[in-house]
Chains A and B, each alone.
Chain A
Amino acid sequence: MSQAFGRAEKAYYDRDYSFGETVKRLWLFARSEKKMLFILLLAFAFNTGISIGVPLFLRVAIDEIAKTIGVNFTNVNLYGWFYLAGTIITWITMYLIIRIEWTIISRTVTKLRNDMFIQLQEHDLSFFDKNKTGRIMSRVVNDTWELGNFMLIFVEITVNFLNLVVMLVIMFVIEWRLTLGILIIAPFIFIVMGFMGYFLMKFSRESRLTVAAVNGAMQESIAGIAIAKNFAREAKNKQEFYDLNKTNLRANIKRGLTFSILFPIFDFIASAIIFIIIFQGARYVVNDAISIGDLYLFYMYSLNLMGPLIGVSQQVAQFQAGRASAERIFSILEVPSLMISGTKDLGEIKGQIEFKDVLFGYSDEKTLFDGISLFIPAGQNVAIVGHTGSGKTSLISILAHFYEIIGGEILIDGNNIRNLDIDKYRKHLGIVLQDPYLFSGNIKENILYGNPEATEMELEQAVSASHVTDFVEFLPEGLETDVGERGSKLSMGQRQLISMSRALIANPRILILDEATASVDAYTESLIQDGLEELFKNRTSIVIAHRLSTVIGADRILVFEEGKVVGDGTHTELMKHNKAYQELYKTYYEFQGVF
């Protein structure tokens, strides 16, 4: 199916599964399709039975006709009718087989994708920091498809194998020497398939690598189209894209040529079998060792042998690919989420926050917080200031339990957040993130994302408190205006206001604003500031801001520097005693040009 996303390379969580382990896991998925698989097997058995039986009838009929004298035409005609009935039944079983195969594939793929999706919702954010979207998508989209087909390989291999054995046994019984003669071909088929498999593997890898580059370039050129236009880079980009495509084309053609020699070779092998049948078999007929009908049976069977022989060797080659996909899927399904969460529901909370000796870092080598401790009483309005990279946003990320901390504990109203039901806990938090990510859809849908059950009144309040109303009024479709991909149709400031509404509509007990108005114009920002006091009432609030003017009125200001709190107090206190804060304040106002 689609190869929309470059095939994933090995990820850190990938593990090796033994064949037994893979089959055991597959069976867990196949189990729910037991009935379907059984019918499929039955249909296959019927189909195979008839494709083996019909030539047997033909053989007798031809022998009868070949007698020339005293032909029993009643029998011949009867065989003819059997033949007709047989072909119709073959078609019906074929219909059933294709239909059931599609049903099984569709259902399994859906089930796998669903399970993976559910598992993905469990991970903490470090999983998504380490594993890029494209790679995960490739597993959910492509590998599942591969695995859906892989399940059927078991059935197909069994059927093909049985088919081969039965036909060979019959042929052996009729004339073993001729059968052996034909079987000389078999090793050639396996050798050819082996070579093909090797080259296909090699060229496919090459093709996958190059196509990943093409897709990457395509993705960036679409996502960065505005930049390309701004910088008038279209012509140069085009040339680069051409070159990437050319490389990919070469790899694709190599793979394609390997494919294209495959069927001509099989066609030739069929000719070779006919050659053996006539060369060797005709002699036996002449010597009366076998009848003319037997010879025709051999002809029919050896043509029928081709299918299963090709099938089996192909399926063996596919087996590896299928197993690789299975590994990638099961790895993602089984990588444990680092999240530790409990089931405790606090009901209404007061909003008291405490960090106790918290140890945290994004990588194992370097910690950002080396035992930070903080106490924020319920209802306090706290501002956090500090340079870029000092850990302001990280503090909020661990408070929201996006990441697991390495040591210490974070307490809400005295309860460790690890013991809390995570969904119920996060409902108490209203976070306006630095990057105002919007989903495609309209403005209203995006705001309601914060609380789908919100009433019209609540929506109205959230929209006016965040001053979304000011610009929405102006849009012809109002709140129903489509925001475009990731909100591309709106300005950065508008997106921030919407994301603020989205947080407010949940009426959270703890409100967190992370540079929530950085891109909003000063005019609107000052309007929001005026309303903030009202918003902060009865809430614990944490505000991160570069613009110091917006935090001067806070109950308490924390100054961060390299993961440590270097200042704690009100604006006036800090201005008196705290060097770091004075420095920040001075540069800010110097720069603002007020001094």
Chain B
Amino acid sequence: MTLKTSTSTSTVKTQEQSKRFYFLNKRWYSKSHKYWLLGHIFNHKGKIAIITACSLGGIALQIFIPFILGDVFEVYIPSKNLELIIRMALFILGLGLARLAINFIASALNEIMAQHVEMKIRLELYENLQTKSMDFHDSARIGDLMSMATADTRMINASVSPGVRMIGTTIFTLVATFIAMWVSSPTLSLVFLLAMPFYFYFLYKFGKKLLPLSIKRQSSVAKMNAELQENLTGVRVVRTFSGQEREKKKFNKTIKELEEILVTRGIASAYYIPSLIISVVTASIFLGAAYLIEASIIGPILFNLFGWQLTIQPIQIGELITFLTLAGFLGMPTMFLRWVLDMTLLGLAGAERIFGVLSVESEEERGETILDDLEGSIEFTNVSFSYKEGSLFVVNDVSLKIEPGETVAILGPTGCGKTTLSKLLLRLYNPTKGSILVDGVNIQEWDITALRSIIGVIEQDTFLFSTTIGSNISYGKGDATKEEIIEAAKAAQAHEFIMSFTDGYETMVGERGVTLSGGQKQRIAMARGFILNPKILIMDASASAIDAQTEAKIQKAIEKLLIGRTTIIITHRLSSLKTATKIVFMDKGRILKVGHHDDLIRTFLPYRDIFKRFTDLPPLEADTITSDSVSETVGGSK
């Protein structure tokens, strides 16, 4: 697993409110993953009670059979009482029918319960992932999380059913069998009693050995999935660099590791002593009985043990058969238990992996402020941010005030922190230092959903969902009308190409539908941002994959859209920069200069450098700041 377990970038900690997300009652999270799993299972107390009662009933009914068999063999057959024999046979058939009903109820309830547990755990994981910070999602691997949501929950399901039922059944069968044996022949039951501690000891050892191997197996499977997925999705890069041989070697190594774990685990799973113990006990009972019968020809045997006078009762053939049948009953559940334990341990391994993710702190979601009448002013005050504690600041002491309705362009070299700034505004990350105010209210105090719904973002890295184009556009506004969708698409210059598809707005995107070009995707993403009619609009270099002609059209449409909105444009497009009310030039996390295009082009050399290629620039002014002097200021004010 490649998950960071406890990275929180925020220093603003809330004392009273825990940042964890609880799906179940809080107390189930206080201990380990086992306890948490138990919490999910105990949601079904009623079902567990019925399952237990049914298992008990089933065993009670079963325990009659050996006695009937014993009697038939010892008494009824020798006495040739056919009528009683038939009655007994019918009785067994009747017992069988009753057991059919009872067992079905127990097993069906257990199955229903297991399915519910699986679903609830998946839902918990889903909801939990939604509350996780972006920091977490940046580090987590999709393949790994998917493996948890599918393979691991599936394993938990398989261990809950028939696990819950089998644990009860096995214990009850052992107790009931022992009582029945004791009733039938106390002496022979001693053999059984003596074997029990070993039985349980080896059961425990079996589980202990298999558990770490199960965890290894699950994470090894996840690793294989992740590698395979990467190879398939990165196929172009692999081919470009002739990486096939290396990829083959790497994959081969991973599956060989998995093979080794599977084999080792198979061996551990095969080495199942409890079933040997039951077999030996059964055989010993027969052997003991044979010796006892031989000895008892002389009469009851008296035995002197440490001054205790023991009388060993003689044994008849009927008792022998009862015993053998009883011991036979233990064989099945014991064999079955190996399989159940095997499953349960895989389930526990899955639970541990999932619990590990659940335990990572969720992002802080404090704040309830919802402002109705929004102006759209933004203020950064001494904001600093670093992705990891102690590492360099990606955003360094940034202060910036944006008035309502302003259009601010941010530009600067790659990695200067411009995209991070917009992420901070959306509270995808929390600033390490400083504060961000929207309409004078610290965004930490804002209701996070309200905050995000007034800010529209058109991202650099466009991600579309595999649904229709229409649904993608209306993603942020579920109740959007057809007209609104088309209007937004028109503004993003997407309407035309969408209509060129046979299914128009109903065209599926992605795996099941059309393959869109980078530019088309970006235009749909733009429409998705426009439809929200947000008070604050962030556009992050969103037109990079669109050709100039299309972009010129979009630009015209946007101009209308910008009216009455606060807009932050991350761009280096001259036309956008010219129209911006304010240009913020950033480098290495700092704001180097704020100003208007006409000023900057004449006085600020790094800005000027960008455009020297395109155009004849106005003459420099005397007080021009050069790159060198800029880096000096940056270095000096660290």
Q: How many B residues are at the interface, by size bracket?
A: 35 or more
**Cβ of A98 and Cβ of B266 under 8 Å apart?**
yes
For residue B473, give the distance in angstroms from its CB to the closest CB of chain A.
Answer: 11
A589 on interface, CB distance cutoff 8 Å:
yes
CA distance A253 to B161 in the complex (A): 12
B320 on interface, CB distance cutoff 8 Å:
yes
CA distance A467 to B247 in the complex (A): 28
CA distance A42 to B321 in the complex (A): 32
Q: Which of B116, B321, B419, B613 contacts A549 (CB 8 A)?
A: B613
**Cβ of B615 and Cβ of A103 under 8 Å apart?**
no
- CB contacts (< 8 Å) of B5 on chain A: these are none
Which residues of B237-267 are within 8 A (CB) of A?
237-248, 251-252, 255-256, 258-259, 262-263, 265-267
**Cβ of B248 and Cβ of A521 under 8 Å apart?**
no
Q: Which of B231, B287, B453 contacts A77 (CB 8 A)?
A: B287
In the complex, which residue of chain A has the Cβ closest to the Cβ of B587? A523
What 0/1 pattern do residues 255 to 285 of A give for CB contact below 8 A with B?
0110111011101101110110011001101
**Cβ of B241 and Cβ of A502 under 8 Å apart?**
yes
**Cβ of B150 and Cβ of A215 under 8 Å apart?**
yes
A229 in contact with B428 given A222-B142, A591-B552 (CB within 8 Å): yes
**Cβ of A488 and Cβ of B269 under 8 Å apart?**
no
Chain B: interface secondary structure? helix
- CB contacts (< 8 Å) of B140 on chain A: these are 222, 485
A492 on interface, CB distance cutoff 8 Å:
yes
CA distance A256 to B225 in the complex (A): 27
What 0/1 pattern do residues 160 to 188 of A give for CB contact below 8 A with B?
00000000000000000000000000000
CA distance A105 to B551 in the complex (A): 57
**Cβ of A232 and Cβ of B411 under 8 Å apart?**
no
**Cβ of A402 and Cβ of B239 under 8 Å apart?**
yes
A39 on interface, CB distance cutoff 8 Å:
no
B449 on interface, CB distance cutoff 8 Å:
yes
**Cβ of A2 and Cβ of B548 under 8 Å apart?**
no
- CB contacts (< 8 Å) of B611 on chain A: these are 522
**Cβ of A141 and Cβ of B89 under 8 Å apart?**
no
- CB contacts (< 8 Å) of B490 on chain A: these are none
**Cβ of A226 and Cβ of B463 under 8 Å apart?**
yes
**Cβ of B127 and Cβ of A592 under 8 Å apart?**
no
**Cβ of B96 and Cβ of A426 under 8 Å apart?**
no
For residue A313, give the distance in angstroms from its CB to the closest CB of chain B.
Answer: 18
- CB contacts (< 8 Å) of B149 on chain A: these are 215, 218
For residue A476, give the distance in angstroms from its CB to the closest CB of chain B.
Answer: 4
**Cβ of A2 and Cβ of B93 under 8 Å apart?**
no
B436 on interface, CB distance cutoff 8 Å:
no
A463 on interface, CB distance cutoff 8 Å:
no
**Cβ of A216 and Cβ of B466 under 8 Å apart?**
yes
- CB contacts (< 8 Å) of A282 on chain B: these are 72, 76-77, 82, 85, 89
**Cβ of A133 and Cβ of B475 under 8 Å apart?**
no
For residue B606, give the distance in angstroms from its CB to the closest CB of chain A.
Answer: 7
Of the listed stretches A26-34, A242-250, A370-378, name the one at the interface; the rest are far from the partner chain: A242-250
**Cβ of B476 and Cβ of A106 under 8 Å apart?**
no
- CB contacts (< 8 Å) of B229 on chain A: these are 133, 137
A219 in contact with B146 given A267-B103, A426-B239, A437-B233 (CB within 8 Å): yes
Question: A-B pairs with CB below 8 Å: how many?
Answer: 491
Identify which of A230, A241, A482, A594 gathers the most chain B CB atoms within 10 Å of its CB: A230
A225 in contact with B137 given A259-B111, A283-B82, A437-B233 (CB within 8 Å): yes
In the complex, which residue of chain B has the Cβ closest to the Cβ of A553? B613
B189 on interface, CB distance cutoff 8 Å:
no
**Cβ of A88 and Cβ of B279 under 8 Å apart?**
yes
**Cβ of B92 and Cβ of A274 under 8 Å apart?**
yes
Of the listed stretches A14-22, A79-87, A150-158, A349-357, name the one at the interface; the rest are far from the partner chain: A79-87
Of the listed stretches A111-119, A194-202, A531-539, A562-570, name the one at the interface; the rest are far from the partner chain: A111-119
Give the number of residues in A that approach B within 8 Å (Cβ atoms). Answer: 179
**Cβ of B73 and Cβ of A449 under 8 Å apart?**
no
- CB contacts (< 8 Å) of A106 on chain B: these are 258-259, 262-263, 266
For residue B570, give the distance in angstroms from its CB to the closest CB of chain A.
Answer: 9
For residue A550, give the distance in angstroms from its CB to the closest CB of chain B.
Answer: 8
For residue A111, give the distance in angstroms from its CB to the closest CB of chain B.
Answer: 9
B307 on interface, CB distance cutoff 8 Å:
no
What 0/1 pattern do residues 595 to 631 of B give for CB contact below 8 A with A?
0000000000010011111110000000000000000
Q: Which of A101, A225, A529 contacts B130 (CB 8 A)?
A: A225
Q: Which of B126, B255, B528 contacts A221 (CB 8 A)?
A: B126
- CB contacts (< 8 Å) of A3 on chain B: these are 150-151, 154
A91 in contact with B275 given A232-B452, A521-B413 (CB within 8 Å): yes
B373 on interface, CB distance cutoff 8 Å:
no
**Cβ of B544 and Cβ of A226 under 8 Å apart?**
no
B228 on interface, CB distance cutoff 8 Å:
yes
B375 on interface, CB distance cutoff 8 Å:
no
A125 on interface, CB distance cutoff 8 Å:
yes
CA distance A490 to B224 in the complex (A): 25
What 0/1 pattern do residues 340 to 363 of B give for CB contact below 8 A with A?
000000000000000000000000
Of the listed stretches A61-69, A317-325, A405-413, name the one at the interface; the rest are far from the partner chain: A61-69
Which residues of B542-562 are within 8 A (CB) of A?
544-552, 555
A25 on interface, CB distance cutoff 8 Å:
no
B594 on interface, CB distance cutoff 8 Å:
no
B445 on interface, CB distance cutoff 8 Å:
no
Of the listed stretches A327-335, A428-436, A571-579, name the one at the interface; the rest are far from the partner chain: A428-436
**Cβ of B104 and Cβ of A261 under 8 Å apart?**
yes
Of the listed stretches B195-203, B399-407, B513-521, name the one at the interface; the rest are far from the partner chain: B513-521
A491 on interface, CB distance cutoff 8 Å:
yes
In the complex, which residue of chain A has the Cβ closest to the Cβ of B238? A121
For residue A521, give the distance in angstroms from its CB to the closest CB of chain B.
Answer: 5
**Cβ of A102 and Cβ of B413 under 8 Å apart?**
no
A84 in contact with B555 given A494-B415, A526-B610, A592-B614 (CB within 8 Å): no
For residue B224, give the distance in angstroms from its CB to the closest CB of chain A.
Answer: 7
**Cβ of A493 and Cβ of B415 under 8 Å apart?**
yes
- CB contacts (< 8 Å) of A546 on chain B: these are 545-548
A458 on interface, CB distance cutoff 8 Å:
no
For residue B97, give the distance in angstroms from its CB to the closest CB of chain A.
Answer: 7
Q: Which of A83, A218, A270, A450 contacts B241 (CB 8 A)?
A: A450
B65 on interface, CB distance cutoff 8 Å:
yes
For residue B59, give the distance in angstroms from its CB to the closest CB of chain A.
Answer: 12
Q: Which of B112, B118, B146, B463 contacts A215 (CB 8 A)?
A: B146
- CB contacts (< 8 Å) of A225 on chain B: these are 129-130, 132, 134, 137
**Cβ of A237 and Cβ of B237 under 8 Å apart?**
no
- CB contacts (< 8 Å) of B266 on chain A: these are 98-99, 101-103, 105-106
With contacts A84-B280, A423-B244, A521-B572 known, what are 9 further pairs, Cβ within 8 A?
Answer: A62-B320, A87-B279, A137-B232, A232-B452, A249-B116, A267-B103, A282-B89, A434-B518, A494-B414
Name 8 A/B residue pairs within 8 A (Cβ), A-sorted.
A76-B293, A257-B111, A261-B107, A278-B72, A282-B77, A423-B242, A477-B391, A593-B574
The 4 closest A-B pairs by CB, nearest first: A102-B266, A271-B96, A2-B151, A593-B575
